[in-house]
Amino acid sequence: MPNNERVKGIGYAAGSYLLWGILPIYWKQLQSVSSLQVLGHRVVWSLVFLLLLLVITGGLAGFKTEVQGISRQPRKVFYIIVATIMLNFNWGLYIWAVNSDRIVQTSLGYYINPLVSVLLGMFFLRERLSFWQWVAFMLAGFGVIGLTVETHSFPWVSISLAVTFGFYGLLKKVINIGAITGLTLETALAAVFALTYLLYVNATGSGAFHLNLSATTFWLLGAGVVTATPLILFGAGARRLPLYAVGFLQYISPTMALLLGVLVYHEPFSRAHLLSFAVIWVGLAVFSLAHTPLLLRKQAVGQGG
């Protein structure tokens, strides 16, 4: 691939992770709204945005064809439903955690997510873990255990985010459909329940969305854009970069979230947090460096063929 395309790829991928990293700032604007309502609007407006994108890019016909093919495969339909549940649980928990002053815990969750994904691959896809992958996973485990012992509190938010997104990634790998198609299908399935719930809360007078174009309404309307935009940037970047580069860049997001949680929102970050995070960072460094030579070799073989 030409160097200018790789530079674009780095820009797209880094942009996506930067946006994900500062996303807590957006959800903080909706702190007065229940997390369930925010999730409902995130789902509904994401679907609207994705459908508009398909219409504008001329991808609607291809989307319909792909959906028709999927509908004839019951197992794939089942996997999409489970993926939808995992994704929406992850989204909802993330919004709740941010607005409950647990941004540091969300950061920890997305730091350890790559290691959880590797473990899931071993159990469900029969992938083998190398010696250094085991070392990285054990270090991350020690970090989580150490944090639990020192703070007398199990980081369930972090583990739940890592596990649900790990399973979501696993299911996406098994389903093997287009990124936009998959996300549109998932939001369409969830939108049935989200829209029903939002109509109910508005009918009872407890809805946060109003037609007077208040600041809250504006933030809720934008939820779809801020959800889909980094996903689109990520897709554009991933197509232009080798996997090891994407792997290194992915740590931008939890690092930004950690800095926001500690420096901007003044969440507690004790010596125990620092030691535990340090152990996990070492594990991630081992994990990333162990992958780089292998992926470089695979890339060289692919280019040579």
Tens-place pLDDT, residues 120-156: 888 887 878 788 888 888 888 888 888 888 877 889 9
Q: Check residue 228 and give its pLDDT.
A: 84
**Cα-based angle 83, 216, 56 (whole degrees, multiple of 5):** 55
- Mean pLDDT of the residues in the chain: 85
Phi/psi at 92 (5° precision): -65, -45
What's the alpha-carbon Rg for the chain, to the nearest Å? 20
Q: How many domains does the chain have?
A: 1
Nearest to 121 by CA among 108, 135, 133, 110: 133
Q: Check residue 242 and give its pLDDT.
A: 67
Q: What is the DSSP letter of 265?
A: S
- Whether 303 shows a pLDDT value over 50: the answer reads no
User: Mean pLDDT lowest for which of 18-22, 86-90, 259-263, 287-291?
Assistant: 287-291
What are the structure tokens assigned to 214, written together?
A: 């208040």
What are the structure tokens assigned to 188, written together?
A: 């369409």
Q: Check residue 156 and give its pLDDT.
A: 94
- Whether 245 shows a pLDDT value over 80: the answer reads no
Q: Tell me the pLDDT tens digit for each residue of 8-17.
A: 888 888 898 8
Between CA 213 and CA 225 the distance in angstroms is 17
Residues 148-169: what's their mean pLDDT?
89
* Proportion of the chain in helix, strand, coil states, percent, rounded to 5: 85, 0, 15
From the number of C-beta atoms within 10 Å of its C-beta (0-12, 13-18, 19+), residue 189 rates as buried
Q: What type of residue is 150? A: E
Band the pLDDT of 43: cuts 50, 70, 90.
Answer: very high
List all residues 6 or more positions away from 136 whose beta carbon is below 8 Å from its beta carbon. 115, 283, 284, 286, 287, 290
Nearest to 193 by CA among 37, 29, 74: 37
What are the structure tokens assigned to 97, written together?
A: 């955690």
Residues 151-178: what's their mean pLDDT?
87
- Whether 257 shows a pLDDT value over 90: the answer reads yes
Residue 131: give the domain boundaries: 3-304
Q: Check residue 42 and give its pLDDT.
A: 94
Are the beta carbons of 42 and 195 closer than 8 angstroms?
A: no
What are the structure tokens assigned to 31, written together?
A: 């702190």
